[in-house]
Homo-oligomer: A and B are copies of this chain.
Amino acid sequence: MSIPQSTLNTRNEARQVAPKLIDLSEQVLYGDVWERKQLSKRDRSLVTVAALIAMVRPDQLKGHLERALINGVTKEEIGEVITHLAFYGGWPSAMTAARIAKQVFDAQKESK
């Protein structure tokens, strides 16, 4: 899978401080867990995005929304996930997620 550029930039930055963390990201998290067949890539993107919205992790949500679009989650579904999770993580987590999603969607329109 092509890796979003923003993800590569973040990894290169973090590698200077915590090289083992990025080794684990590449070899265990992405090289092993994300590749397991027990759950589809689309489902993995759904649950990752859901977790990041609920925990309010805007720094990581951006790259994982880009990845979710690559993995076949539509923009309308992302909007609905955000609406659904407003009830579970609270309105503030959903409003922050909507702001990040708008940035991702707008950036994609511009790059076309």
Residues on A lying within 8 angstroms of B by beta carbon are: 10, 13-14, 16-21, 24-25, 28-29, 33-34, 36, 38-39, 43-44, 46-57, 59-60, 75-96, 98-99, 101-102, 105
The interface residues of chain A, by DSSP majority, are classed as helix
**How many copies of this chain sit in the oligomeric assembly?**
6
Flag if A29 contacts B85 (CB, 8 Å): no
A56 to B, closest residue via Cβ = B57
Flag if B102 contacts A16 (CB, 8 Å): yes
Query: Min CB distance, A70 to chain B, in Å?
Result: 17
Flag if B81 contacts A13 (CB, 8 Å): no
A105 to B, closest residue via Cβ = B17
Contact of A84 among B44, B81, B82 (CB under 8 A): B44
A73 to B, closest residue via Cβ = B43
Contact of A38 among B34, B36, B77, B86 (CB under 8 A): B77
A and B contact pairs by CB, cutoff 8 A, 11 listed: A14-B94, A17-B79, A20-B38, A33-B83, A38-B76, A47-B49, A51-B89, A54-B54, A59-B95, A60-B95, A88-B90
**Contact A99:B25 (CB < 8 A) given known A20-B36, A39-B81, A43-B46:** no
